[in-house]
Amino acid sequence: MTAQDQALREHEEPAGSGEAARAADGSGGAGGPAGRDGRDGRDGEDGRDGQGGQGGRDPFDRDALPAPKGATGALLRSLLAPRRGRVAVAALMLLLQQAAVQAGPLLVAYAIDRAVPALRQGDHGPVVAVAAGYALCALGAGLFQYAFVAASARVNQDVLLDLRGRIFRHAQALSVDFHERYTSGRLISRSTTDVESLRELLSEGLQELVNVVLSFVSISLILLWLDLGIGAVAVASFVPLYLLVRMYRRRASAAFSARSTAIAAVIVKFAETMNGIRPVRAFRRERSNDEVFGALNRRHERRNGDAILEMARYVVGSRLVANTAVAGMVLWGAYRVADGTLALGVLAAAVLYMRRLYDPIDRLGMFLNAYESAAASLEKIAGLLAQRPTVPEPEPEAARELPPRPSGAPGREVVFEGVSFAYRTGGEVLPRFDLTLPAGQTVAVVGSTGAGKSTLAKLLARFYDPSEGRVLLDGVDLRELPSPELRRGVVMVTQEAFLFSGTVAENIAIGRPDATREEVERAAKAIGAHDFIAALPDGYDTDVRKRGGRISAGQRQLVAFARALLADPGVLILDEATSSLDIPGERAVQHAMDTVLHGRTAVVIAHRLSTVEIADRVLVMEDGRIVEDGPPERLIAGDGRFAGLHRAWRESLVG
């Protein structure tokens, strides 16, 4: 098997294929028959089987998360219900528009059968009336169409705004645990391309469907009223048409599903390559990536061709049915006109109506695609909205506040009481343990990679709740603290030292949004960040994204420390950066760290020797257990793991 074949196989069913497919389809091919991925029998339905991840596969492996039965419909209703009035106005406008449009052929019939004979008698009245009526209907149809578009566009925009807002708020409220498994790519896909496929349905597809349905009902009734026999021919032609639509849906479903998988593979490869552009360059993967991407692209082209062919077959089929029906009607009608049992005008009107009836049938196929796509998207969104935070806010009656911290008191006491922890997707990472960190202590946590240091820190920051036991802050269970109270109590500064879009000052003020500019600057000065910030083009008002390149990794850390200093939490957790800074940079960061750790309880996941030396206490972790615990000097003097680690560190420094 060639590398290319291998890659194609690997991309056959990529994780999150549906979302990627939607991402591409959202850009809109004709009719926008976006990916039916959620409903192709693997994604959507299997997802439900895996509910809760018990006994089956992890539901997060699928693009569509399990949603309770009826959740999709309930979501749509909840979106439309507040806009009931405008939905009704839009529906009324559409009905009136249809009435104005459908009146045309009736007027033609009247003109042929009544107005022309009257004209021959010298009576101009009926012809003038028909002409005026026709003009009025045309004008009315235009006006009602305009009113419908205006009313429905507002409903659509509001619905989409509402839905996107709900997705954002909900996702933001979900726990870290959820985000680690769902990935940001899927979330982006939900709030952009899935919302977009609903927009396509609401703004174009639905109007098309209503037009088709109204046309069918009204034209059938008019034809039956004009002439029972002719009407019956028209109604009979619906049967082959119905069979055709059914067959098309089945075949198109398979074609679009294959197409969505193919485009998903293209997008997944694209995103993967661009996200990993550095290793791609470093390992010279460009050429092999080109080959794989080219092969995936060609496969998508073929699948796209298949889908277009299906659509073409449907269009040809529906026109064949329509023309056969019209031909039959004309033939039979002509004999009856000759017999004198049918008026010529009625036959002309019937033919006009039939043409009008079959015109939108081509577009019905497109509606069906848009519908399937939007249904799949809504199902995925409903699945997302059905997720509940695994780290919930306390009920208002159970919520507690932290006891007041006397000014000058050094931080807060932390107690892990009978705590054990397992990630949802894995086995036990931290076996049951007890640990007390007295207020004001600086604790360095060291250990080999994967030992559980970050996990311990994340439990303290309540990114997760322990599987067993409690984490107490000054005697209060973290689960009883509402978010704002918890964030005042515990702050975690992670390695990445993430900066949000906005100015440097705003980034520091995230620590305490009500801080004044003086307080922000004071924090920056205390940390030793003031000089470099003042040297930026706009000082504290420099936009970190626009000039992001100017802010180095070390400087980003200083900003993150200033943010933490401003927040002034009782407990600070620091995941120290492993990246080696240059010596002056390292010193600056070291100084900043001393400042930010001072006067509070601090837990530092230590990678640097200098950090360990300023700690009051060192915890050495191994396989999720604390294997050594004591002041650094004592541990260094001993002959345990830490003493060994320390020796190795020292030697590496000398080297």
Shortest separation between residue 43's beta carbon and ligand ATP, angstroms: 23
Identity of the residue, 450 or 644, whose beta carbon is nearer to ligand ATP in the bound complex? 450
Residues 6+ apart with CB under 8 A from 112: 343, 344, 345, 348
Identity of the residue, 180 or 417, whose beta carbon is nearer to ligand ATP in the bound complex? 180
Residues 6+ apart with CB under 8 A from 641: 620, 622, 627, 628
Give the pair of three-digit tokens for residue 171. 């996702």
CA distances from 25 to 18, 200, 249, 515 (A): 10, 11, 18, 46
Which 3-state string (H, E, C) describes 512-540? CCCCCHHHHHHHHHHHCCHHHHHCCCCHH
Shortest separation between residue 452's beta carbon and ligand ATP, angstroms: 4
Identity of the residue, 562 or 626, whose beta carbon is nearer to ligand ATP in the bound complex? 626
Identity of the residue, 332 or 463, whose beta carbon is nearer to ligand ATP in the bound complex? 463
Amino acid at 552: S
Containing H/E element for 110?
Answer: helix 84-110
Shortest separation between residue 192's beta carbon and ligand ATP, angstroms: 26
261 alpha-carbon distance from chain centroid: 18
Phi, psi angle pair for 396, to nearest 5°: -55, -35
Shortest separation between residue 429's beta carbon and ligand ATP, angstroms: 4
Identity of the residue, 297 or 420, whose beta carbon is nearer to ligand ATP in the bound complex? 420
Shortest separation between residue 432's beta carbon and ligand ATP, angstroms: 16
Residues 6+ apart with CB under 8 A from 279: 285
Residues 6+ apart with CB under 8 A from 450: none
Identity of the residue, 230 or 577, whose beta carbon is nearer to ligand ATP in the bound complex? 577
Identity of the residue, 363 or 607, whose beta carbon is nearer to ligand ATP in the bound complex? 607
CA-based nearest residue to 198, from 380, 48, 386, 385:
380
Give the pair of three-digit tokens for residue 563. 């943010």
How many other CB atoms sit within 10 Å of the CB of residue 253? 19
Identity of the residue, 42 or 625, whose beta carbon is nearer to ligand ATP in the bound complex? 625
Shortest separation between residue 636's beta carbon and ligand ATP, angstroms: 21
Identity of the residue, 100 or 459, whose beta carbon is nearer to ligand ATP in the bound complex? 459
Q: What is the C-alpha separation between 564 and 595, in angstroms, rounded?
A: 11
Identity of the residue, 255 or 443, whose beta carbon is nearer to ligand ATP in the bound complex? 443
Residues 6+ apart with CB under 8 A from 498: 560
Shortest separation between residue 278's beta carbon and ligand ATP, angstroms: 20
Spell out where 448-515 has E strands: 468-473, 476-477, 490-493
* 468-473 and 428-437 strand pairing: unpaired
Identity of the residue, 383 or 447, whose beta carbon is nearer to ligand ATP in the bound complex? 447
Q: What is the C-alpha separation between 268 and 37, in angstroms, rounded?
A: 15
Shortest separation between residue 390's beta carbon and ligand ATP, angstroms: 12
Shortest separation between residue 56's beta carbon and ligand ATP, angstroms: 18
CA distances from 293 to 129, 286, 306 (A): 66, 10, 20
Three-state DSSP at 601 gives: strand
Amino acid at 107: L
Q: What is the C-alpha separation between 266 and 272, in angstroms, rounded?
A: 10
Largest CA distance in the chain: 124
Return residues touching ligand ATP (CB under 6 A). 180, 423, 425-426, 429, 447, 449-455
Identity of the residue, 175 or 590, whose beta carbon is nearer to ligand ATP in the bound complex? 175
Contact (CB, 8 A) for 356 and 219: yes
CA-based nearest residue to 572, from 478, 653, 487, 654:
487
Identity of the residue, 456 or 524, whose beta carbon is nearer to ligand ATP in the bound complex? 456
Shortest separation between residue 415's beta carbon and ligand ATP, angstroms: 20
